[in-house]
Homo-oligomer: A and B are copies of this chain.
Amino acid sequence: MNSLDHLLERGIAEIIVEEEFRDLLAAGRRLRLKQGFDPSAPDIHLGHMVGLRKLHKFQELGHEVILIIGDLTAQIGDPSGKMQARPLLTPEEVEANINTYLSSFFKVVEKEKTIILRQSQWFSSMTTEYLLHLASRFTVAQFLHREDFFLRMKAEDPVYLSELLYPLLQAYDSVAVRADVEVGGIDQKFNCLVGRELQRMLGQPPQQILLFPLLIGTDGSHKMSKSLGNYIGVDEPPQDIYGKVMSIPDQLILSYFELLTDEDLRRMEDELKVQNPMEVKKELAYNITYQLYGEEGACQAQEHFLKVFSRREPPSQMVEYPLQAEVVDAISLLHDTHLVESRMEARRLLKQGAVEVNGQKLTQPTFAPHPGAVIKVGKRGFLKIVEGE
Contacts and interface: CB of A to CB of B under 8 A. Distances in A.
A136 B159 CA distance: 9
A132 interface: yes
B135 A165 contact: yes
Contact of A162 (B123, B132, B149): B132
Interface stretch (A45-53, A140-148, A332-340): A140-148
A195 to B, nearest CB: 15
A159 B140 CA distance: 6
Q: Say whether chain A's binding surface is mostly helix, strand, loop, or mixed.
A: helix
A156 B140 CA distance: 10
A72 B168 contact: no
Given A140-B160, A161-B143, A88 B133 contact: yes
Contact of A129 (B72, B153, B158): B72
Q: Which 3 A-B pairs have the closest CB atoms?
A: A136-B162, A135-B161, A135-B162
A75 B132 contact: yes
Interface residue tally on A, bucketed by range: 35 or more
Given A124-B128, A141-B159, 12 more contacts: A72-B132, A75-B129, A75-B132, A76-B136, A123-B128, A135-B164, A136-B163, A138-B160, A140-B161, A140-B163, A140-B164, A141-B153
- Counting every copy of the chain, the complex holds 2
Interface in A39-81: 72, 75-76
B139 A160 contact: yes
Interface in A115-133: 120, 123-124, 126-129, 131-133
Nearest to A128: B123
Contacts of A149: 140
A38 to B, nearest CB: 13
Given A140-B153, A156-B141, A131 B129 contact: no
A124 to B, nearest CB: 6
A222 B165 CA distance: 34
A221 B168 CA distance: 40
